[in-house]
Amino acid sequence: MNLKNAFSVIIFLLFCAGIFKLHAQSNLSVVFQDGSNEQISIGSINTIKFTNDGMNINMGSGTTSVYTFSSIRKLLFKTVSGVNELLDNTSQIQIYPNPVKLMLYLKNVVDSDLKIKIFRSDGALVFDNILSSAQQCIDVSQLNQGLYVLQVNNQTIKFAKL
């Protein structure tokens, strides 16, 4: 893949992330062959056009920056992760400790019986029981070491057994 196609793929992925309202990149850093760099806020970029020998970045302010491929060492997308809304974990059952040796404890258990299933990583069912809301722990001491999937009602949680 040539350099122009690689840049095109990166820009395509960047715009797809914007369409799906993912807020993972905040700055584009253009690092030049001489070691200097230029920081560009992704939110201020209007369009990026690739030419035969470089790229033109049109800014929302109306200015255009022109870069030749021979002057660019690399392009970096500075990552700042974020979400629009915080998840409400108080309604989700959580487990601890993870990884576990003997007893797996449940947190945020509602006042109803819980249908518990534990599957090995190969999909085999190794535990199937109904726990009362008063019982907020599962004895996993009989399980072999490995990775497991816990199903609690309609929720799935991964855990490791030591």
Last residue of a domain, which of 79, 113, 145?
79
d(CA 30, CA 147) in angstroms, rounded, equals: 42
Domain that holds residue 105: 89-161
Please tell me which residue, 103 or 92, carries the higher pLDDT value: 103
pLDDT interval class at 20 (50, 70, 90): very low
Could you tell me if residue 23 is inside a domain?
yes
Mean of per-residue pLDDT scores for the chain: 79
Query: What pLDDT is stored for residue 21 in this prediction?
Result: 43
Query: What pLDDT is stored for residue 23 in this prediction?
Result: 45
Q: Return the CATH number at 142.
A: 2.60.40.3080
Same domain, 96 and 148: yes
Please tell me which residue, 4 or 155, carries the higher pLDDT value: 155
Can you say whether residue 123 is alpha, beta or left, with left for phi > 0 and alpha for psi between -120 and 50 degrees?
Answer: left
Q: Residue range 84-94: average pLDDT?
A: 61
Query: What pLDDT is stored for residue 14 in this prediction?
Result: 53
Q: What pTM was estimated for this model as a whole?
A: 0.46
Could you tell me if residue 84 is inside a domain?
no
Q: How many domains does the chain divide into?
A: 2
Model confidence at 10: pLDDT above 50: yes
Query: What pLDDT is stored for residue 88 in this prediction?
Result: 53
Same domain, 68 and 101: no
d(CA 156, CA 66) in angstroms, rounded, equals: 50
Last residue of a domain, which of 25, 59, 79?
79
Could you tell me if residue 60 is inside a domain?
yes
- Using an 8 Å Cβ cutoff, are 79 and 14 in contact? no
pLDDT interval class at 47 (50, 70, 90): confident
When computed from its CA atoms, the radius of gyration of the chain, rounded to whole angstroms, is: 25
Last residue of a domain, which of 79, 112, 132?
79
